[in-house]
Structure 1
């Protein structure tokens, strides 16, 4: 176990011959790292959510090319075997576009050797970290201008979008951290985020480390909390954003957006441009990952639903762009619901 502050956390670190990943399935009870030196290990870590969050799995995928290259050298793979291994990493989770984007960016360097692959993967991480800090500033500035608060803000967030989900600092949680650094956060409502509790296990853990006042609430409480006037804005991340602004994020997000629209408060998506998929015209074309039904029919290995019940377990839902008040990227802010579409502005 390591004693690290949230700002210094690195969910994905290259060790010289492999990856060190924070095991996010062990939090908040333990801060453990696992060593990954083979493609099977990395794919398993991505599927099991040992590493999760679109930018973080993008970084893992970038370094995964190096893991495949080293394993191929040890085991005498052919070029076709190497390409197949890289493709397995790329396809480990289908909804978050960052994984494919980062693997595709780094894979062409495999022919130039390990040093070239690592240089490009390192660049992916540096750029994501800078993007997170830029997003934090842009998002905070926009929100303060939009709301002109005379007191600290009450913010709702869904799932985990902090250092654990990125190369460091965070996307939506990065905006919250920036607001907190300015003394402008009264309270964060962190949705617990079913079925694996990324909000209560991970977001609350990061908020606690940073000393940011917060409460954890059930996902089903979010809409009522918003409609009672207890929230000034909701800030969430994204796993894929279509050209028209439709946004795939952790399941339960669309309910938050609908409640914000009814209450007339900002619903903000914070994500790097690597999450914007201009080749996808609308959210209808976004593939929604379906996860094992056991995740919602059991808890801690104990069956919680009748033996005859089946599970419906989509990992994500799609929020229409018409409900996205603002999309914050490292390039600035687009007011999507007002007609500033990613497909028009980010090409």
Structure 2
């Protein structure tokens, strides 16, 4: 008579465990470094300007222990713009990560596939009617972005956003909307068109708490929604069939994620105008830092976006003082250089194969 058979669990792979621990340590170190960079840029933005404030006085002002003039300069004049640069950059980084995952395409960011341009069209339509104001401009940007997303979705194929046709359709719609935006500005009154042109350049200049508070509240709510949908997004990375087997309602999930991504872009666009390449570059850089090819860490993309936009805004405001550049001009220049670097790096890799 034979005894009962027993099965032994396979021994854990020490190599896989070591890799997971190394990846975890790298992720923690990368997050800490990006957070420190964001804090450094924030302090530099609060201290630099026509009235230079030492870092120690900036810290005292943030803690409520500085004198009245320093508190006014740091908290009333400079903090809204500095906070918006970080938060809007994080919003664009999150939006770019969501759409690059949904489209499974490195070019599938909202500023490439037309949603940023559509938000600009909606906001411009409000601005050029003379009905300016943050709430109306934000609503116009949101409607424009969502309408553009619906149009690209309808023309690019209703079955899935993860197709090359979807991205190409978005690029074509973006080109058409860019022409529409130019036509709108040429047909407007000179003074109104001048204000609209300044807005379309992308700038955080002259933004105060009136614009910052509603934007911070809206982005906090949208970031929470993105965090709640993060598990679904990771499932969609594995493919629609695998996601369905895991219990994900794919069509509904893609619609929800796309809506949140467009809303993140629309809020950022309504506040500061179109800020190109942040949403495109942030997820790429986050993948390089985390050495994670299949997907993108949402917190990593948000942190990289925050550092990118805050750094670009500091350069725009102080690098060429007393001349101030539009923040959008800096992001476009840096983004174009980054794309060239990527293309040259890929070309070198192709030659070595």
* TM-score using structure 1 length: 0.23
Larger helix proportion of the pair? 2
Larger-gyration structure (1/2): 2
**Which one scores higher on RCO, CA 8 angstroms, separation ≥ 6?**
2
* TM-score using structure 2 length: 0.23
